[in-house]
Amino acid sequence: MADKFKEQAVIIRQEEISYGIYSMWLKTDKIAGHAKPGQFISIYCHEGSRLLPRPISICEIDRADQALRIVYRVQGRGTEEFSKMRTGGSVDIVGPLGNGFPLKEKKAFLIGGGIGIPPMLQLAKELKCEKQMILGYQDSLFLQEEFKRLGNPYVATEDGSYGTEGNVMDAIRENGLDAEIIYACGPLPMLRAVKEYAREKNMECWVSLEERMACGIGACLGCVCKSKERDGHTNVNSKRICKEGPVFRAEEVDF
């Protein structure tokens, strides 16, 4: 049975929540009702010269109202186009895509860096166990109010303007934090540091990866990563980030 849908979503509201970072709520027909934390949607540009959908992680899910929130950074022409969309406008989306985070009953670190922070919000809402949210920003903060409603987020900023000066690993050390499981999404240097930390401490660790995608649904093999196991799809050590991922056991993938 199909659990992915192509829909014309309606923009409920959009705002710039930090410099170049936008928050958009979308009204969906079925996608929000089927979505899980850590999954993503493909968003299609109106402009015809931009052919490929932009994969954007789901930040919040409102299943009752069939609404989804995405928080994204304007990175190129596609996301710039999205940032100009207005309330009441519509946009084609496909989703929910990818596997999402496994929800485990273990004392958890939720580690988000930069534009890897948004998917941690829905995860934090759905993890009912003890959890610590560690968020790394370059300078200006976003989504702080939302995370504070769910606990006491630890913050690191590269310029030291707020919280720990440095990165998320510095924040963990400075605050003497510990956990049994890690969920992480963020830039590659951060994910590598998290993976190494988990290896040293022998912790279960799940990371969300990203890659340039074309189809977003597992057909084109554009967005693979090297994996220890052979993937079930092409029988080589190369898994599809859009399909078997974007969330992987850290030790399972090379990045």
Answer yes or no whether residue 233 interacts with other proteins by CB under 8 A: yes
Beta strand pairing status for 131-137 and 154-157?
parallel
The residue written with tokens 């890897």 in the block is 116
Q: Find out whether 108 and 182 touch, Cβ atoms under 8 Å.
A: yes
Answer yes or no whether residue 73 interacts with other proteins by CB under 8 A: no
Q: Find out whether 186 and 111 touch, Cβ atoms under 8 Å.
A: yes
Q: Find out whether 114 and 189 touch, Cβ atoms under 8 Å.
A: no
- Can you tell me which of 103, 238, 249, 252 binds other proteins, judged by CB under 8 A? 238
- Can you tell me which of 158, 218, 249, 252 binds other proteins, judged by CB under 8 A? 218
Nearest approach in angstroms of CB 59 to other proteins is 24
Nearest approach in angstroms of CB 168 to other proteins is 24
Window contacting other proteins (CB under 8 A); options: 41-49, 67-75, 129-137, 151-159 = 41-49
Nearest approach in angstroms of CB 200 to other proteins is 27
Nearest approach in angstroms of CB 90 to other proteins is 15
User: DSSP state, 128?
Assistant: -
Question: Per the structure block, which two tokens stand in for 177?
Answer: 């934090």
Answer yes or no whether residue 74 interacts with other proteins by CB under 8 A: no
Window contacting other proteins (CB under 8 A); options: 80-88, 108-116, 153-161, 211-219 = 211-219
Task: Give the residue with the Cβ less far from other proteins, 129 or 219.
Answer: 219
Q: What is the spatial distance between Cα 243 and Cα 224, in angstroms, rounded to a whole number?
A: 9
- Can you tell me which of 11, 17, 221, 249 binds other proteins, judged by CB under 8 A? 221
Say how many residues touch other proteins, by CB under 8 A. Answer: 36
Q: What is the spatial distance between Cα 107 and Cα 131, in angstroms, rounded to a whole number?
A: 6
> How many other C-beta atoms lie within 10 A of the C-beta of residue 211?
15
Which residues are CB-contacts of 183 (< 8 A; sequence separation ≥ 6)?
38, 101, 108, 109, 110, 111, 120, 123, 206, 208
Answer yes or no whether residue 235 interacts with other proteins by CB under 8 A: yes
Binding residues vs other proteins (CB under 8 A): 2-4, 6, 44, 48-53, 78, 92, 94, 211-225, 233-238, 243
